Amino acid sequence: MDIYYEQYVIDDRKERNKGKKVLFTAFYYINIIFVAAALLWLFLMFMTPSDSLINLITSGIFLVLTAVSLFFVRRQKNSLDVDFDYILSDTRLRIVRVFNRRRRKLYLDVDVKKLAAYGPVTAEDSFNRYDHTPGVKKQYAVLSEDEKKIYFMYYTDGPDKTLVLFEPDETLLRNMRLAIGRDIVAKR
């Protein structure tokens, strides 16, 4: 039986990171100005006959630091607007992070037949048992703050224990049940 379902989870709260976006955008453009100034200064140092090796080295260090800073500020700015895409294809569930609604990066790829349990976070007995397991790695693929929408998946892959929080819709849950072929859903 071929199963394919795709769910796109969008963060509708546009005001959520507005202050951070403005701050990182300002830092980004300030860093561009600093990189241009450092390049110009370094170019002038090479063009003028100067015996000051210290000025040349400090200018080079300043250029490298501002370029590295520019890279990290841009990376932080682009990672503020994140959505998730859940793709179920036969028994593979892929969770993809979507940055700025353009760039996609695989976040998690799991065989749903390897799931030990999944269910709503509000099923506290089941969720707390897996949440407090020693050595469990937690991965968050949620945007909602409403606990009623958030589900958990617990699986082991060799010695690794992973607990994933995600927010599927009813159709994705139904298709996961079909793909798994057995009932492992934690009850509310």
Q: How far apart are CA 130 and CA 111, in angstroms?
A: 18
Q: So what's the pLDDT on residue 47?
A: 75
CB 96 within 8 A of CB 75: no
pLDDT at 54 exceeding the cut of 80 = no
Phi, psi of 3 (to 5 degrees): -120, 130
Instruction: Provide the CATH topology of domain 4-12+81-180.
Output: PH-domain like (2.30.29)
Q: What is the mean pLDDT of residues 70-88?
A: 85
Q: What is the mean pLDDT of residues 50-60?
A: 72
- Other Cβ atoms less than 10 A from the Cβ of 67: the count is 14
Q: How far apart are CA 113 and CA 136, in angstroms?
A: 19
Top pLDDT among 32 and 47 is at 32
Q: What is the pLDDT of residues 85-96, one digit of tens each?
A: 999 998 899 999
* Plot region of 18 (φ>0 → left; ψ -120 to 50 → alpha; else → beta): alpha
pTM of the complete model: 0.71
User: Which range among 17-26, 63-72, 149-158 has the greatest average pLDDT?
Assistant: 149-158
Q: Domain residues of the chain, as ranges?
A: 4-12+81-180, 18-78
Q: How far apart are CA 86 and CA 141, in angstroms?
A: 9
